[in-house]
């Protein structure tokens, strides 16, 4: 018999045949479900009015009407999997039931082993539907670019995947740390898609976007009547990620009480819906991400220390983009190829000046900022090469039809050269030539006006007088 764990789930059997009703109920109870069984539409309506069910086995022909009437009346929650049972010759009615929202159907007589198989498929379909409601995935970010500077990180991920293959069951949680925009979500997707749960769902949750009042219901689900607006039972995202991965981005945004519930779910592999009394078994791999140093947050009382210890087994840290040296240019070229395909534009290479500007920029927004700047340049810049002129870093390179301002024979001193100081001197010279007009100075330098303002602000300087439009 197919393995299907229904522990903690509620089922309803609506069947006219007493022998079939007992057989189906006994089978479902052996799989761990709590089952109610009735023989009529009236009995089903009575139970449905006061109870919620995770799945229903529904006979089409009942003494007081057709089982499909319940589907027409929309009495079931969208998360309830309804399996219709019909006799030979009643397939048309079963197909109509599926049009009305049933998950699948069985034709009498059927083998006992068929019901768990159909239920497993129905539950998987409900999980997928719940995930699709929640999913907000940018598929252009599903891959990872490691380059030369992330070889150590790549080796760590390979070791985690090897451990996952050895475990082949309940997988250890993964903690991903890194500044905003470094690619924590992309790394989580990469791990999921290269691991043993690639065929399962990856459910992504931005914890910082969850209102405190809804966080528990969103993550763990709720029973009908659990609160004012809980008109139907709803599956939580821990359940939706069953046999897959739940990615909790910015986990520290959750309250201490919610962190405790997440810890319990990770340790016990069980959750309890809001308003529910029974634990529900979940086999969900948790990945968590944060921009914070959780050890420091825990020391400050801002993160649960027990949850940190549980998460801090497989920990990976993504370095900021500014620390990746020449890989910035390699990553930019890799991203440009993908962006050009998405924008349906011809791929244009980076110019020497463009590469210089990429390397000179601080990249506070990391890879996310880089991707946006590249897309902006590809869409708005003219010419056969991308100059990245919108970046507030580096100076414009003189056109070939203008005289070279660099003194012939110039060489850098052995003691080193301060590019930052040279930029400031050029900036001050341009401002003096432009009589303090920021816009005019920016045109002389071939940079955006915001760059001039940014440099002045960095040095705590201020220019009086007319600053231009």
CA neighbor of 314 nearest in space, from 106, 173, 121: 173
Catalogue all structural domains in the chain, each as residue range(s) with its CATH number.
Answer: 10-133 (3.40.50.2300), 149-319 (3.40.50.300), 322-380 (1.10.8.60), 419-458 (1.10.10)
Q: How confident is the model at residue 396 (pLDDT cuts 50, 70, 90)?
A: very low
d(CA 181, CA 368): 5
Q: What is the pLDDT of residue 406?
A: 66
Backbone angles phi, psi at 218, to 5 degrees: -65, -45
| Token pair recorded at residue 259 | 């962190």
Q: How many CA within 13 A on the CB side of residue 111?
A: 5
Instruction: Decide if pLDDT at 69 tops 60.
Output: yes
Instruction: Decide if pLDDT at 465 tops 80.
Output: no
List of long-range contacts for 390-394, beta carbons under 8 Å, 24+ apart:
390/448, 391/357, 391/358, 391/360, 391/361, 391/451, 392/361, 392/447, 392/448, 392/450, 392/451, 392/454, 392/455, 393/357, 393/360, 393/361, 393/362, 393/451, 394/353, 394/356, 394/357, 394/360, 394/361
What would you report as the CA-atom Rg of the chain, rounded to the nearest whole angstrom?
30
d(CA 191, CA 158): 9
* pLDDT tens column, 228-249: 777 788 899 999 999 999 999 9
Question: 176 with 184: CB under 8 angstroms?
Answer: yes
Q: How confident is the model at residue 459 (pLDDT cuts 50, 70, 90)?
A: low
d(CA 335, CA 333): 5
- pTM equals 0.63
Instruction: Decide if pLDDT at 107 tops 70.
Output: yes
* pLDDT tens column, 166-221: 987 789 999 999 999 999 999 999 999 999 999 889 999 999 999 988 999 999 99
Q: What is the pLDDT of residue 411?
A: 73
Question: 184 with 318: CB under 8 angstroms?
Answer: yes
């Amino acid at each position: 018999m197919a393995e299907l764990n229904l522990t903690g789930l509620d089922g309803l059997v609506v069947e006219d045949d007493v022998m079939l009703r007992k057989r189906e109920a006994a089978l479902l109870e052996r799989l761990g479900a709590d089952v109610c069984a009735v023989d009529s539409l009236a009995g089903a309506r009575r139970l449905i009015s006061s109870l919620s069910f995770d799945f229903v086995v529904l006979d089409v022909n009942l003494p007081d009407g057709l089982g499909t009437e319940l589907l027409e009346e929309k009495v079931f929650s969208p998360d309830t999997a309804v399996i219709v049972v019909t006799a030979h010759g009643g397939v048309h009615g079963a197909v109509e039931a599926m049009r009305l929202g049933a998950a699948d159907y069985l034709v009498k007589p059927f083998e006992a082993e068929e019901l768990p198989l159909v239920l497993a498929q129905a539950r998987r379909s409900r999980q997928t539907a719940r995930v699709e409601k929640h999913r907000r995935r940018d598929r252009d970010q599903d891959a990872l670019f490691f380059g030369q500077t992330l070889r150590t990180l790549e080796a760590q991920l390979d070791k985690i995947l090897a451990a996952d293959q050895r475990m082949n069951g309940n997988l250890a949680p993964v903690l991903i740390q890194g500044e905003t925009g470094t690619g924590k979500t992309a790394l989580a997707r990469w791990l999921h898609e290269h691991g043993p749960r690639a065929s399962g769902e990856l459910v992504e949750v931005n914890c910082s976007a969850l209102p405190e009042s809804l966080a528990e219901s969103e993550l763990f689900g709720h029973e009908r009547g659990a609160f004012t607006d809980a008109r139907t039972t709803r599956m939580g995202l821990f359940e939706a990620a069953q046999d897959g991965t739940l990615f909790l981005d910015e986990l520290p945004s959750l309250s201490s009480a919610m962190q405790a519930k997440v810890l319990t779910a990770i340790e016990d592999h069980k959750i309890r819906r809001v308003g529910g009394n029974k634990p529900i078994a979940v086999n969900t791999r948790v990945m968590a991400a944060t921009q914070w140093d959780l050890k420091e947050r825990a020391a400050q009382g801002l993160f649960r220390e027990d949850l940190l210890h549980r998460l801090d087994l497989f920990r990976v840290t993504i370095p900021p983009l500014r620390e990746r040296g020449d890989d910035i240019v390699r990553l930019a070229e890799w991203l440009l190829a993908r962006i050009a395909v998405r924008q349906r534009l011809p791929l244009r290479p980076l110019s020497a000046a463009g590469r210089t500007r990429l390397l000179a920029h601080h990249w506070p927004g990391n890879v996310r900022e880089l991707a946006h700047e590249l897309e902006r340049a590809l869409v708005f810049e003219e010419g056969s090469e991308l100059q990245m002129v919108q970046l507030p870093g580096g100076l414009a390179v003189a056109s070939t039809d203008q005289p070279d301002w660099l003194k012939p024979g110039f060489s850098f001193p052995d003691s080193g050269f301060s590019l930052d100081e040279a930029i400031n001197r050029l900036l001050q010279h341009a401002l003096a030539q432009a009589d303090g007009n920021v816009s005019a100075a920016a045109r002389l330098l071939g940079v955006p006006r915001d760059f001039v303002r940014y440099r002045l602000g960095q040095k705590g300087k201020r220019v009086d007088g007319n600053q231009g439009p």
